[in-house]
Amino acid sequence: MKKWIAAFRLKTLPLALGAIILGSWVNDFSFDFEIFLFASITAILLQILSNLANDYGDYIKGTDRHRKDRQLAEGTISPRSMIVAIILFSLGSLLSGIYLLNLSFGDNWDLWIRFLLIGMLSIAAAISYTVGKRAYGYMGLGDVFVFIFFGLVGVLGTSYLFKQEIWTSTWLLAIGYGCLCVGVLNVNNIRDLDKDVLTNKITIASKLGLQGSIIYQTLLIITAFLTFSFYHLIENYYSLSPLLILILGFVHIQKLKEAETETDYNNQLRFLSIGSLGIVLLFVIRLFF
């Protein structure tokens, strides 16, 4: 069982949960626990699906042959077993998502069809990040898809499930959170920069180089700080989340500049992933009403 838990990469799950919590909270009095629960389950299943497909896709392409933290590359899980797991988590995501749509939209078939298509696209995106000849993760598009599905779809889509409307200011939170999630991917790509260049895997980090990628990371965190701050100003909302972004961002960038080993980068992956969830949790703790 330990090999599968390792393949699930549990440290990535806070990012998926953060989007759901953020999208749920902005609806205030329209909150529904059952919708929140199944939105969370669906997001977690999709994230695990993405992690399994990533393990499989990188293994097939030979990108992971030098790594010691991937289950297929290490031989602890067979390719056949991984394919079965990918199919099971795809079905699980679909079934959980269908039940979620039933909770949210009832017999409103127009919204049903629209969100079912979004769900199918989410499953396809989770798999095709590294799987297939046109895997977008190998074409420098990983950052774009993470921003869309973690930020825009994750936050705005969840918000819409509760009340079938999206406040304009919620876009600021979706953009800011999307930037934090892209930041996590960017750290991953900085860590693998040399290996990706050798295997012809195109990422923004491989194009920008180390120093350019750190500047890019700084801009992502600054954008997150500005969008969260503007939301607070527009909505007269008070929380400590912008302050945490500022502190977390400063510490993170300094540590990223000093990082030398794979462990250093993995520590920053964990730091930013858990820190992003912390930002969301501080956001929901409103200081004044």
Q: For residue 229, what are the CA distances in angstroms to 208, 226, 249, 261?
A: 28, 5, 14, 34
> Is residue 289 included in any domain, yes or no?
no
Q: What are the phi and psi torsion angles at 68 (to 5°)?
A: -110, 5
The number of distinct structural domains making up the chain is 1
In this prediction, residue 11 carries a pLDDT of 84
Q: What residue numbers bound the domain in which 71 lies?
A: 2-284
DSSP state of 29: G
> Is residue 112 included in any domain, yes or no?
yes
DSSP state of 199: T
Q: Among candidates 62, 55, 121, which has minimal Cα distance to 83? A: 55
- Spatial distance between the Cα atoms of 59 and 66, rounded to a whole number of angstroms: 10
Model pLDDT for residues 17-44, shown as the tens digit of each residue: 999 999 998 876 678 899 999 999 999 9
> Is residue 77 included in any domain, yes or no?
yes
Cβ neighbors of 8 (< 8 A, separation 6 or more) are 48, 51, 52
Terminal-to-terminal C-alpha distance of the chain? 46
> Is residue 105 included in any domain, yes or no?
yes
- Spatial distance between the Cα atoms of 176 and 151, rounded to a whole number of angstroms: 8
> Is residue 11 included in any domain, yes or no?
yes
Model pLDDT for residues 64-121, shown as the tens digit of each residue: 666 666 777 777 888 899 899 999 999 999 999 999 999 999 889 999 999 999 999 9
- Residue 279 and residue 232 in contact, taking contact as beta carbons nearer than 8 Å: no
> Is residue 14 included in any domain, yes or no?
yes
> Is residue 189 included in any domain, yes or no?
yes
**Model-level pTM?**
0.93
21: its two tokens? 């919590």
